[in-house]
Structure 1
């Protein structure tokens, strides 16, 4: 039975490690990489570059091209999505709305002032999730 895995991505090394983990450990499962655009995070300088030429209503992060390449290197087609809202809440809502069976995420992505002010997204997701969460260091 194929499972649906969700890998939140913010273009950090821990997030890329989580994607590599998902592709390696779960090669036969459906994998969706989601990027949450958090207005509060952007206000503190933690936002990610985006491609303004995307047809969708929300711009796609520049690093999604790398995500697709990593998937192809593993012989896997990776689905991508962009959600808006507070990162942890947006990730959890996406998981519930799309029948996600497991969330796999990096241990940290933020650094410096934004991490102190905003807390750890991985911690918040783990604490609030009804879906099993795997944290990859």
Structure 2
């Protein structure tokens, strides 16, 4: 039975869709939603830090709103560091049963150069990961 679901969020469309999917799964098993927002380790400087702090605050507020609307138990965390590693570490620390995360649908050169947080999470997570594709 699924009791705890981690859903990483950056307030992008795909991450909001993932939160909505996670809440649907959580409703069927009365699971707790754990929302996580990570400030990437490459963020340096006060201006960039302020922008990321605001983005994280907004992302967690949106996740909280969705979980509360559905009447689900909700916990949240914010972290700094390599995003995929922080997702997996948080999932292990909170003994989650499932990670639900969005994909941005990038391909080609952009994906090769930037990489995919979702892909790195899938490759390194001992916990099942459900991916939610972007809207068409």
Q: Which has the higher helix share?
A: 2
Q: TM-score category by the smaller chain?
A: 0.7 to 0.9
Specify the alignment match of 1:126 in structure 2.
122
| TM-score between both structures, scaled by the size of structure 1 | 0.78
Tell me if the contact between 1:13 and 1:109 (Cα under 8 Å) persists in the aligned partners: no
Gapped regions of structure 1 (runs ≥ 5): 52-58
Q: Tell me the number of residue pairs that the alignment of Structure 1 and Structure 2 aligns.
A: 126
Question: RMSD of the TM alignment (CA)?
Answer: 2.8
Following TM superposition, the consecutive aligned residue runs of length 4 or more in structure 1 with deviations greater than 4 angstroms are 113-116
Go from structure 1 to structure 2 and tell me whether the alpha carbon gap of 1:90 and 1:123 turns closer, same or farther (over 3 Å shift): same
Please report how far the alpha carbon of residue 114 of structure 1 lies from its aligned counterpart in structure 2 after TM superposition. Answer: 7.5
Specify the alignment match of 2:13 in structure 1.
13
Gapped regions of structure 2 (runs ≥ 5): none
Tell me if the contact between 2:37 and 2:60 (Cα under 8 Å) persists in the aligned partners: no
Please report how far the alpha carbon of residue 67 of structure 1 lies from its aligned counterpart in structure 2 after TM superposition. Answer: 1.7
| TM-score between both structures, scaled by the size of structure 2 | 0.79
What is the alpha-carbon distance in structure 2 between the residues aligned to residue 114 and residue 10 of structure 1?
Answer: 19
